[in-house]
């Protein structure tokens, strides 16, 4: 189940422009899903997961703005209903990200956002506020808020949550720490808020995620 939930390797192949490897990984995920599910809604969930993961991966790691493509893919998933069509759509989603990313037309070179992201990742376990980040990079809070939405498609607080969830997934995958410790190390002020936020973005609770990926 770990291969089904973790899309990091898929995103890396998209980043490296290795389409054949990306499609092989995707096919493995489909085969895993087919062994236990026939309901098209389960395949929709997988495509939603891949789409939002790849989108956030490039927002966080490369400052690439892919909001329009992500929204277009979501619309395609919504109107697709058969299992066979959804499987084919998944391949097209992977190809679409690869094409746009390597055309280079949507790459943001905003140095302010890059500095902000570096600060966020370096302090993910601490309290991070818009004012604190803005002060660190010497701009106004309002301007930083505008730049985040413009360059990533996310509001500042939502972007912080996504970074914290990705940090938590890494802890869940690679440590045996308890959930309260992982919650604290990922920057959440309570385990209940951590669990609620994790499930909203990942689709399962932290406990269930760990169980599925072990």
Tokens of 16: 């490296």
Which ranges constitute the DSSP H helices of the chain?
2-5, 8-15, 19-34, 40-62, 67-79, 83-103, 111-122, 130-136, 141-152, 156-174, 179-185, 191-202, 206-212
Q: How many residues does the chain have?
A: 214
Q: State residue 58's pLDDT score.
A: 80
**Domain spans, the chain:** 2-103, 111-212
- Which CATH superfamily hosts domain 111-212? Homeodomain-like (1.10.10.60)
Distance CA 201, CA 125 (A): 18
For each of the chain's 214 residues, which pLDDT tens digit applies? 556 767 889 999 998 899 999 999 999 999 988 888 788 888 988 998 898 888 878 876 665 667 778 888 888 998 998 999 999 999 999 999 998 888 754 434 467 888 888 899 889 999 999 999 999 999 999 999 988 887 777 789 988 998 898 889 888 888 899 999 999 999 999 999 999 999 888 878 999 888 876 6
pLDDT recorded at residue 106:
41
Distance of CA 40 to the CA centre of its chain: 22
Question: Cα separation of 95 and 100, whole Å?
Answer: 9
pTM: 0.58
Q: Give the pLDDT score at 104.
A: 55
């Amino acid at each position: 189940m770990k291969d089904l939930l973790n899309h990091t390797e898929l995103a890396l192949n998209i980043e490296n422009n290795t389409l054949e490897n990306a499609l092989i990984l995707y096919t493995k995920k489909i085969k895993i899903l087919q062994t236990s599910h026939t309901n098209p809604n389960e395949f929709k969930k997988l495509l939603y997961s891949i789409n939002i993961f790849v989108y956030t991966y490039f927002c966080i790691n490369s400052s690439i703005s892919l909001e329009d493509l992500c929204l277009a893919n979501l619309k395609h998933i919504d109107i697709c209903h058969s299992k066979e069509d959804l499987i084919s759509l998944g391949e097209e989603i992977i190809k679409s990200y690869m094409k746009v990313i390597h055309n280079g037309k949507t790459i943001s070179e905003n140095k302010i956002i890059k500095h902000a992201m570096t600060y966020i990742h370096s302090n993910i376990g601490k309290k991070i506020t818009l004012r604190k980040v803005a002060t660190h990079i010497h701009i106004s809070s309002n301007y930083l808020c505008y730049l985040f939405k413009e360059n990533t498609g996310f509001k500042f607080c939502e972007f912080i949550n996504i970074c914290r969830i990705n940090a938590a997934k890494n802890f869940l995958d690679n440590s045996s720490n308890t959930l309260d410790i992982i919650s604290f190390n990922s920057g959440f002020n309570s385990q209940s808020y951590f669990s609620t936020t994790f499930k909203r973005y990942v689709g399962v609770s932290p406990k269930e995620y760990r169980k599925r990926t072990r």
